[in-house]
Homo-oligomer: A and B are copies of this chain.
Amino acid sequence: MYRDPVSASPSPAAAPAAQRPLRVGMIGIGTVGGGTFRVLARNQAEIAARAGRAIEVTMVAARDLERAAGIVGAGVQLTRDPLQLATHPDIDVVVEVAGGTGPALDWALAAIAHGKHLVTANKALLALHGDAIFEAARQHGVAVAYEGAVAVSIPIVKALREGLTANRIAWVAGIVNGTTNFILSRMRDDGLDFGTALAQAQALGYAEADPSFDIDGTDAAHKMALLAANAFGTPVPFDAVQVEGIRTLQVLDMACAAQLGHRIKLLGIARRQPDGLELRVQPALVPDTQLLAHVDGSMNGIVVCGDASGVTMYYGAGAGSEPTASAVIADLVDVARLAGTQAAQRVPHRGFHAHAMRALPVLPRAAVSSARYLRVPLHRASDAEPLGRWLAAQGLVPRKAALAQLPEGTGAQWLVLTGPATQAHVDGLLDQLQRHPAVAGAVTALHVEPLDA
């Protein structure tokens, strides 16, 4: 049994023999980097009390050294060369918060090859190159920590990798993009159309000038791929995620979903099925009896269903400098606590030890089965009933159906919640339904996720 010489000291309140500070090099000092520096400075005593040693940013790589100096002040070495920082002998941990994937991969691999631990909030980097990075880190015996890359301040990687390790995970469902959740909340609560809600999100700083990454679901897909790896012990399956964004969502469907007791969310789903993984990011209806349906505004929420734990849920900010810094610094504290022990190696980067990981096939879109919401514009309201019988005869049984309660003149809209059917089956049916003589306009079809345990 290992005994720390300090622990056996007679005075229980004595400070441990001073471990030298953990020396951090930061690549990038923008929104997340600046927040990390600020929180580390503000809470330094409390953080050291938790970590068992001081955590000091000793070097920063930035493009604009003058701006960087204005943020970090004197006493921090500055460089324009991230590679110099990543390989510098006086750095223990590299915090990569610059973003991007090409150069960032070089920096990450250089840092690892030089025996540095790596903390990053770069979801794109890990979604695309995570497996290579994790394998390099494993071979060099260093930690790669990335809580800030998944759900901002929510410790969900830690929950999956360490908190739920008893479980065979059945599924993970998440609202993991604050921008789109803000937009959808505005559409629902204020009746705004997509474009207006997006403009509002941009004005408030919740959306970028080019919002494609968020609204097309790419960002959420990055995060779901990382969650899937941790939940199921599979290499990061980003390439296989089926992604639909929210550009074409109509505010009318928000109201119609509400009438059926549901809310529309951009939902990531990673679910174990007998033949492989279901893995997709799509706008979906969630019953408003589920707590996840009430994750509104720019907040994030993730539900995990395990065979022993049952359902657990994790909720927190979906954006922000200091919330992301909270996760980055928690990773630094983990490193500070474990660096120099074998433990940095013993908590595997993706929850499972490398030798036990298996590449699980991701089910193709056509094979994925789910319940559906349909909104069908009708020439006459009385066409609803025969159309319901027609749908049932095609094997898509209406579980709940209603005519939309809409202002006069909007035309009859038939709303249906169906039982589960494969995407292939539904695709074929939608084609026929669209050409049905009773149908007066474009049919809208969305997934429904009951999220039952």
Query: Is the beta-carbon distance between B158 and A39 smaller than 8 angstroms?
Result: no
Cα separation A95 to B428 with both chains bound (whole Å): 56
Name the residue on B nearest A310 (C-beta).
B317
Q: Which of A40-48, A243-251, A383-391 makes up part of the contact surface?
A: A40-48
Q: Which of A66-74, A159-167, A418-426, A429-437 makes up part of the contact surface?
A: A159-167
CB neighbours of A168 from chain B (8 A): 42-43, 46
CB neighbours of A140 from chain B (8 A): 1, 3, 7
Q: How far is the CB of A57 from chain B (nearest CB, A)?
A: 13
Count identical subunits in the complex: 2
CB neighbours of A153 from chain B (8 A): 164, 306, 308-310, 312
Name the residue on B nearest A316 (C-beta).
B312
Cα separation A365 to B340 with both chains bound (whole Å): 46
Query: Is the beta-carbon distance between B310 and A166 smaller than 8 angstroms?
Result: no
Name the residue on B nearest A232 (C-beta).
B46
Cα separation A7 to B333 with both chains bound (whole Å): 23
CB neighbours of A328 from chain B (8 A): 166
A287 interfacial by beta-carbon distance below 8 Å? no
Q: Which of A99-107, A206-214, A319-327, A442-450 makes up part of the contact surface?
A: A319-327
Q: How far is the CB of A262 from chain B (nearest CB, A)?
A: 16
Cα separation A51 to B40 with both chains bound (whole Å): 31
CB neighbours of A330 from chain B (8 A): 162-166
Given contacts A141-B7, A309-B153, A314-B312, contact A52 B166 (CB under 8 A): no
CB neighbours of A310 from chain B (8 A): 153, 316-317, 320, 322-323
With beta carbons under 8 angstroms apart, the residue of B2, B8, B49, B320 that contacts A342 is B2
Cα separation A283 to B252 with both chains bound (whole Å): 41
CB neighbours of A315 from chain B (8 A): 291, 312-315
A204 interfacial by beta-carbon distance below 8 Å? no
A77 interfacial by beta-carbon distance below 8 Å? no
Name the residue on B nearest A306 (C-beta).
B326
CB neighbours of A50 from chain B (8 A): 161, 165, 233, 348, 351-353
Query: Is the beta-carbon distance between A316 and B309 smaller than 8 angstroms?
Result: yes
A360 interfacial by beta-carbon distance below 8 Å? no
Cα separation A135 to B353 with both chains bound (whole Å): 32
Cα separation A340 to B2 with both chains bound (whole Å): 6
Query: Is the beta-carbon distance between B337 and A233 smaller than 8 angstroms?
Result: no
Cα separation A107 to B15 with both chains bound (whole Å): 29
CB neighbours of A325 from chain B (8 A): 166, 308
14 contacts between A and B (CB under 8 A): A7-B139, A12-B138, A39-B166, A43-B166, A47-B165, A49-B352, A51-B165, A155-B162, A155-B164, A162-B334, A291-B291, A308-B323, A312-B314, A341-B346
A interface residue numbers (CB < 8 A to B): 1-4, 7-8, 12-16, 35, 39-40, 42-43, 46-52, 115, 135, 138-142, 147, 153-155, 158-159, 161-168, 233, 291, 294-295, 306-317, 320, 322-323, 325-330, 333-334, 337-338, 340-348, 351-357
Known: A39-B307, A340-B342. 8 other contacts (CB 8 A): A3-B140, A43-B167, A51-B165, A52-B346, A52-B348, A158-B158, A158-B159, A309-B316
